A and B are shown apart, each in its own frame.
Chain A
């Protein structure tokens, strides 16, 4: 037992001497010694952990100290964001109106004979059997029954069916009672674009009186022909999105999706008058 203790004491003493020697050497040379490096390597992760914890505590203290100021700043920023969002919305609205008017200007340039009047939709008809809406312009502004209604792009919307002093009713082109002379743009084929009750519920209309089979192609643009005198020639009705054989097999009919997006309409334009150019094809 005594021998063991004696041996252990010698080993410990030797180790201590060694450590002291390395330490003294590092001290005099100015370089970290082996033990320091080893300790630093082992302790580094733990040290990092503590450092992180301290940093968090410090940040929390700072947060608690600055909470009121931050809260006030947050409120101010929220208010500023709301203001900026309102400005953006206003700007978007102005841009949209600007675009509409720019497009209308193009339409006016290309159709100098058109006498146009802008109007806003007051309300849509509540009937499940027709497609109508009321506009905020009437006979006081020069609107007459039979005036054609278009979008700023020159897409057909409908026709005025009734006129009051300060408002008028418009029957849209998909209404079952609507009908207009039409031309298929690519082929020059004449037909009649008319509303159909079944198609009205899908927001579409029918291109009928096509007495040739395979005369219609999907994607063909359908324009007004000017026949009938209500709609000037050359206005865009829509595109053919489907075709089928007529009952009895005589010719075919096309399903036309209107170019004007009726559900999104807010502002439209009435053609109060148009010149001979619009009647040519009629």
Chain B
């Protein structure tokens, strides 16, 4: 029963990740919000960690990171590494430090988006000598556009992990 519940949740979460990928790569690469394409996969990875566990966060952070790098193009592995760590860390905080609710997700989601923007602008700032203000402005636009998807993603990931959470609660009691 536990294995079936876990599998069901994993498939649900994989579906959420795939939807995020298609929206991020195909839809928002052309339809910009506030002049920027939103990042959905980092939010999904953080949600998987916070609402699931550090294991869920690490696993689906890795999946989300690979998909995010694919959506970005250029063959980088920045998000593959970063989202794995972020997902795992969000899970760790959910396990031991923070409540598994929306305010925590809001806080971690915002933090992850700002961290992603900082990582993305780092190379341009340090190695390409780009001016700081245009980079910051783009980072803020990207974060603002991504925050619009915080609530839908929270509910989608929570719904996907419902079977596994129920099973865990039954085992706990």
Contacts and interface: CB of A to CB of B under 8 A. Distances in A.
Interface of A: 123-130, 132-134, 161-162, 169, 171, 176-177, 196-198, 201
Given A124-B29, A132-B73, A201 B128 contact: no
B37 to A, nearest CB: 5
B48 to A, nearest CB: 20
A5 B16 CA distance: 109
A162 B77 CA distance: 13
Contact of B128 (A128, A161, A197): A197
Nearest to A195: B128
Interface residues of B, number: 25
B138 A129 contact: yes
B170 interface: no
Interface stretch (B94-102, B129-137, B159-167): B129-137
Contacts of B124: 129, 176, 197
Given A176-B124, A197-B124, A125 B130 contact: no
B26 A123 contact: yes
Contacts of A162: 74-75
B73 A196 contact: no
Given A130-B72, A132-B73, A171-B74, A124 B30 contact: yes
Given A124-B30, A125-B29, A197-B130, A130 B138 contact: no
B37 A177 contact: no
A123 B30 CA distance: 9
Contacts of A125: 29, 71-74
B141 interface: yes
Interface of B: 24-26, 28-30, 35-37, 71-75, 120-121, 124, 128, 130-131, 134-135, 138, 141-142
Contacts of B134: 197-198, 201
16 contacts: A123-B25, A124-B73, A125-B71, A125-B72, A126-B25, A127-B74, A128-B138, A128-B142, A129-B121, A130-B74, A162-B74, A162-B75, A176-B124, A197-B131, A197-B134, A201-B35
B80 to A, nearest CB: 14
A132 B130 contact: no
Contacts of A133: 73
Contacts of A132: 72-74
Q: Which of A125, A127, A161 neighbours the largest number of chain B CB atoms within 10 Å of its CB? A: A127
